[in-house]
């Protein structure tokens, strides 16, 4: 099965998860597992997306990070250049809705965070394999951004999003760990 088919099937599967009433409970389990890691506890600057649809809820994590004095950096995509960078937000009011209904930082109200300043990056995706490879949303923004990034790369996913394998291309960059509602998967991709 190709990436597009796997992405489409998983999105449908996640819709069913949402209707089962377990979405919030599973998101909370994942958040608790992340908060208990040294990766989170030792990170001062955390890069994270604003969740939408059936993605693991990140808004509560962002609020907790702020209460712990951590810096939160949210991605801003520049579609004309096919690139992404992160900007510091201190309030959800510094976000605007852009293409594909994504919430991104308002440039005039936020400052750029350099890749080298990020201690932990939470990498989104739709489908994940236990060796750290993922199928994202098809834009390739994270794979391009992660080139040369040496710190911890973690994905948050529902157990249902883990599959045996995904198609891997030469430009794909795996994450170091995947935290699900059932386990923490330490990815062996090196």
| Alpha carbons 122 and 75: distance in angstroms, whole number | 11
Residue pLDDT, tens place only, 49-93: 999 888 899 999 999 999 999 999 999 998 888 889 999 999 999
Q: Is the pLDDT of residue 190 over 50?
A: no
DSSP state of 184: E
Q: Which two tokens stand for residue 158?
A: 């529902």
Residue pLDDT, tens place only, 1-35: 788 899 889 988 887 776 556 888 899 999 999 99
Find, among 165, 162, 174, the residue nearest to 56 by Cα.
Answer: 162
Judged by DSSP in three states, 188 sits in coil
First vs last Cα of the chain: how many Å apart? 25
Q: Which two tokens stand for residue 63?
A: 């609020």
Q: Is the pLDDT of residue 189 over 80?
A: no
Find, among 97, 27, 104, the residue nearest to 73 by Cα.
Answer: 104
- Is residue 17 within 8 A of residue 54, CB to CB? The reply is yes
Q: Is the pLDDT of residue 39 over 90?
A: yes
What pLDDT does residue 40 have?
Answer: 98
| Alpha carbons 158 and 162: distance in angstroms, whole number | 8
Question: What is the pTM (predicted TM-score) of this model?
Answer: 0.93
- What are residue 65's phi and psi, to 5 degrees? -60, -45
Q: Which two tokens stand for residue 175?
A: 């994450």
Q: In Å, how far are 124, 134, 185 from 76, measured between CA atoms?
A: 14, 20, 28
- Is residue 110 within 8 A of residue 77, CB to CB? The reply is no
Q: Which two tokens stand for residue 154?
A: 């973690």
Grade residue 44 by pLDDT with cuts at 50, 70 and 90: very high
Residue pLDDT, tens place only, 158-176: 999 999 999 998 989 999 9
Q: Which two tokens stand for residue 30?
A: 């994942």
């Amino acid at each position: 099965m190709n990436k597009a088919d796997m992405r489409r099937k998983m999105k449908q599967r996640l819709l069913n998860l949402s209707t089962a009433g377990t979405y919030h409970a599973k998101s909370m389990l994942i958040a608790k597992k992340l908060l208990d890691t040294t990766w989170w506890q030792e990170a001062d600057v955390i890069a994270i997306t604003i969740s939408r649809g059936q993605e693991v809820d990140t808004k509560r994590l962002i609020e907790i990070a702020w209460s712990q004095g951590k810096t939160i950096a949210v991605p801003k995509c520049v579609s004309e250049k096919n690139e992404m960078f992160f900007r510091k937000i201190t309030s959800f009011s510094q976000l605007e809705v852009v293409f594909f209904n994504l919430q991104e930082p308002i440039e005039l109200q936020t400052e750029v965070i350099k890749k080298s300043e990020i201690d932990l990056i939470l990498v989104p995706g739709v489908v994940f394999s236990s060796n750290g490879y993922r199928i994202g949303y098809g834009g390739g923004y994270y794979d391009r951004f992660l080139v040369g990034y040496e710190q911890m790369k973690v994905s948050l996913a529902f157990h249902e999003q883990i599959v045996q394998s995904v198609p891997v291309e030469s430009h794909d960059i795996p994450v170091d760990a995947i935290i699900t509602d059932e386990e923490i998967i330490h990815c062996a991709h090196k």
